[in-house]
Amino acid sequence: MGPLPRTLELFYDVLSPYSWLAFEVLCRYKNIWNVSLQLRPTLIAGIMKDSGNQPPALLPRKALYVKNDVRLLGQYLQVPIHLPKDFFFVIFEKGSLTAMRFLTIVKLEHPELLEKVSRELWMRVWSRDEDITEPQSILAAAEKAGMSTGRARELLERVSTPQVKNQLKETTDAACKYGTSIDVQPSTAAQ
């Protein structure tokens, strides 16, 4: 009998391509690395606000770096990642609030589906340039991940309840307390 798995928490938002890449690596290797992966849906906007950082896409040099870095990492890790055509509208106007609330309630009520629903939402926004904000889009992602239409509708109707809002805020606050911040620093090795 080997050592007990170590717990690793992944705080993530489906608006973050780097979160998707980390998610895929951790999901692939969690058994090999003997890790108990705890997926923690978080709101990236809350982390940005808490840390005082600007989104890398708003800074021209970092935006160019992110675009190239995400493309190369996606190829290397065999994750079908592509920037949305209207990147700024998707990221800064549409956001991910409803999707992250939906993932929060999935974690609360159907944790066995959290990985699949999260992946499908990432696939929608970062691979197929599809919406993740409209109710029909979220329902389609949940159904594709294996959730029944009826159950997905029930959960979606509850995304604005105080329980779900508070849980997402608490998880985001926990990420901030760990010192999470969003910043992309090009390394000399990657240039």
Ramachandran category for residue 83: left, alpha or beta (phi over 0 → left; psi -120 to 50 → alpha): beta
> CA separation (Å) from 171 to 9, 41, 143, 180?
11, 7, 25, 12
Question: Is 96 part of the annotated catalytic residue set?
Answer: no
Q: CA distances (Å), 162 to each of 73, 75, 76, 186, in order?
A: 38, 40, 41, 39
Residue 9, by phi and psi: left (phi above 0), alpha (psi -120 to 50) or beta?
beta
The residue whose two tokens read 């956001």 is 95
How far apart (Å, rounded) are the C-alpha atoms in residues 66 and 57? 7
Options 16, 19, 96, 118, the catalytic residue: 16
Backbone φ, ψ for residue 6 (5° rounding): -85, 145
Q: State the catalytic residues.
A: 16
